[in-house]
A and B are shown apart, each in its own frame.
Chain A
């Protein structure tokens, strides 16, 4: 918040590159504070704000929110650094980026549904402005589309939050702890979950609520799309996990086959669409849609393993998609286009963009779930955790995940290899400062692949706890799911006792 407010107050004479540095510093500070909180967990902050409305400033960290806060801080810093050194209207641009970060982080820290709603809505405004002012040629249409979809998403969430209050037998309470203990009627649960699925399904997005995504990802400036795909969309997944799985376990369990089907369809639909795209940004958008489908599959199964995998997938996808868009941004900045038919030979070591293409290749491999990279442990946990619950949906998603390799190879065959046109290839190579954000993400993608605990360790306790609420409704015949990862599952009697 400090950064958001301070940046517009900087004198207009401050050069753009310095404004960018200051903005990135705020992101880095947030990351540092997040790491300190990880080492020394602070007590929850509970302040009364508007008591008549039941709005309290309840903030706290747990194993679900902390990794996502760290991810958001990291991606905010790196996306800011990915902006051009001569970014136009830098004070406003970076202030809006930090405002987006403020909304996401507040949503993740919120321990009150009303506060979460406010944060959720807060994200809408800066992103719309960022797309509308700094986007591509069709930015107006993309911004309007994003605004409309987000408005519907926000309204659905508002209705869900009000419904939480309306149907709560204990009265209009918004604190998460109260919601967790509330005994909602099955009808109420159905209404609320339907609204939540609409809201968060639009935010993620997931098929068939993804209409805004390809346009917005295609038109948004690179730093914005990095933040949007890497972090903001995770707010939807986090909402499903926190509200859907956490507060409405019965209905979630009952509807989970449909949710799993939506996840699998998203995975297939995203992958197949990615294969036929003729623009790299849109290809990445559909790829992201596909991977969000895997995440939804993990959430729907709601086993300890699948939920752990879903959180890991949020983190892995966050850094992978940010890396993908960072690379695409570099390609666009140098070549002036992301149209696949207009590009070829970018792997050319002398006049292409071999370093950038190398990082892009690595990111695509990570997205395809190649072992040793970040995507592998996350997808493995999702598939493994979901297999016993939804084998068909898991199998379909597994096949869809394999399609990642198809569009990755197709993209590289057309863009990376082939003849680099000498007449068009009149661009300079990327300098180290331009590459730095993508390089940092590359290091993380490799590190997370080699040390998967960095992805899975955060949420083990919380995801197991959430799964326990759903397990009695999901588990069949008391059979232990097949597991490659040692997770001790409680027995049914332990569950009931707990």
Chain B
């Protein structure tokens, strides 16, 4: 007599396509199963959510100040106070979060995050004037945000139509109107504009990228805040949940407009009008990931390219400082832009992450390095979300039963993984918890 079994055995199904033979086959199979490039471990989940929260607070400042610079400071020849956004921008409700938003998708976001406001008031040192906080560097380092913006501008066409539009006649006409309006009554600057029009045009292009990045981060900040809240409520069960939340977020806002408006003496100049149809996914998110995550700029002093002369190499392998490739270790002590972000995040680490860092390596002494590596892990997760979103948009569902479709997905994933075959890529390192 056959003994009764509690549950029937799962039917064994043969895989529809053979296993990948790629060097990162394990990662590819994980992606095909709906996972992330980052292994699904409780500690990885804790690390990435904790760092998203620490990232979101300075990011809440970055996007507000980027928009302030793009829309209000604009072509100020002496922008000494560009890192001091007006109260109007600090109170600006997020377009995608909070009860006041027209396009509410996420929680919170009525005004700048309370932790950010508290830090801006007291910093690490104590209550003193904004200028002293600024000079003492006891502040949010906007220099990081500007470095990201410059990377997007510098690398030029990283996808979408945005960069090409900056060379169009329509853009130049709009920019010309804004320049003349901004310097109305200033014969010196208008004279200079007449002499060196391209120099001014270049500055306006830069301002357009300020707006682009500001609008991109306006979306990302509440996403990260909400992920932190969900984690605190026990909502995420694993790394794939966190990644899927990002994928859903990307789709939720993929079509939101990217534009550049400038406010001069109360009048709005639409340098890049919303009607141009630039979207958050194609004109901001993808170029941002490509330029900042995969490339960034070379460390100043090591290489020199003239972007205006189109000398910036198109080959991604020429760049080592994107967060997916950067050796955080020397970066953390060399002053390369991610260091400034790491310092910003250090102020807002959730307690559970601080406790984690205390138990590894040098504890509190080298938190900056540890959080930098956590940030690297978290950005691999964000990149996984982008890859999955692209696969979703361009290819086939993961549970598709057609082997041809699955093979197309496989080829897409393998092509993505090929970008991490370079020895500088940190993908192999983040597969283990020992990398800290």
- Which chain A residues have a beta carbon within 8 Å of chain B's beta carbons? 345, 348-351, 419-422, 425-426, 428-429
Contact = CB atoms under 8 A, between A and B. Distances in A.
Contacts of A349: 333
A420 B332 CA distance: 11
A428 B330 contact: no
A345 B361 contact: no
B237 interface: no
10 contacts: A350-B333, A351-B361, A351-B366, A419-B327, A420-B330, A422-B327, A422-B328, A422-B329, A426-B361, A429-B365
A349 B369 CA distance: 11
Contacts of A350: 332-333, 362, 365-366, 368-369
Nearest to A345: B330
Contacts of A419: 327, 329-330
Nearest to A354: B333
Greatest chain B CB density within 10 A among A345, A350, A420 is at A350
Interface in B321-376: 327-330, 332-333, 361-362, 365-366, 368-369
B327 A351 contact: no
Contacts of A429: 362, 365
A348 B362 contact: no
B365 A348 contact: no
The binding surface of chain A is classed by DSSP as: loop
A426 to B, nearest CB: 7
B362 to A, nearest CB: 6
Contacts, number: 32
Interface residues of B, number: 13
B364 to A, nearest CB: 11
Contacts of A420: 329-330
Contacts of A425: 329
Given A419-B327, A422-B327, A348 B361 contact: no
B333 A428 contact: no
Given A428-B362, A429-B362, A348 B327 contact: no
Contacts of A421: 329
Contacts of B328: 422
Greatest chain B CB density within 10 A among A345, A420, A422, A429 is at A422
A350 B334 CA distance: 11
Contacts of B362: 350-351, 428-429
A168 B349 CA distance: 82
A344 to B, nearest CB: 10
The binding surface of chain B is classed by DSSP as: helix
Contacts of B361: 351, 426
A348 B361 CA distance: 15
A421 B362 CA distance: 15
* 10 tightest Cβ-Cβ pairs between the two chains A and B: A422-B329, A350-B366, A350-B369, A349-B333, A348-B333, A351-B366, A350-B333, A419-B330, A429-B362, A350-B332
A356 to B, nearest CB: 14
Nearest to A425: B329
Contacts of B365: 350, 429
B428 to A, nearest CB: 11
Contacts of B366: 350-351
Nearest to B367: A350
A476 B66 CA distance: 80
A467 B104 CA distance: 94
Interface string B55-81: 000000000000000000000000000
B37 to A, nearest CB: 20
Nearest to B329: A422
A8 to B, nearest CB: 38
Contacts of A348: 329-330, 333
Interface in B111-141: none
B129 to A, nearest CB: 29
Contacts of A351: 329, 361-362, 366, 369
A350 B371 CA distance: 12
A427 to B, nearest CB: 9
A432 to B, nearest CB: 13
B426 to A, nearest CB: 10
Given A350-B333, A420-B330, 10 more contacts: A345-B330, A348-B329, A350-B362, A350-B368, A350-B369, A351-B329, A351-B362, A419-B327, A426-B361, A429-B365
A348 B435 CA distance: 18
B275 to A, nearest CB: 49
Contacts of B369: 350-351
A168 B365 CA distance: 68
Contacts of B368: 350
A419 B331 CA distance: 10
Contacts of A428: 362
A261 B394 CA distance: 82
A133 B361 CA distance: 33
A485 B81 CA distance: 58
B407 to A, nearest CB: 37
B331 to A, nearest CB: 11
Nearest to B360: A426
Greatest chain B CB density within 10 A among A351, A419, A426 is at A351
Contacts of A345: 330
A483 B122 CA distance: 60
Nearest to B436: A422
A156 B308 CA distance: 79
Nearest to A426: B361
Interface in B204-260: none
B32 to A, nearest CB: 30
A254 B435 CA distance: 67
A426 B235 CA distance: 35
A76 B333 CA distance: 38
A349 B362 CA distance: 12
Contacts of B330: 345, 348, 419-420
A217 to B, nearest CB: 31
Contacts of A422: 327-329, 435
A419 B329 CA distance: 8
A302 B182 CA distance: 82
A419 B332 CA distance: 12
A334 to B, nearest CB: 11
A74 B362 CA distance: 32
A350 B363 CA distance: 11
A421 B328 CA distance: 11
Interface in B39-96: none
A331 to B, nearest CB: 16
A421 B366 CA distance: 15
A490 B243 CA distance: 89
A345 B334 CA distance: 11
Contacts of B333: 348-350
A160 B84 CA distance: 83
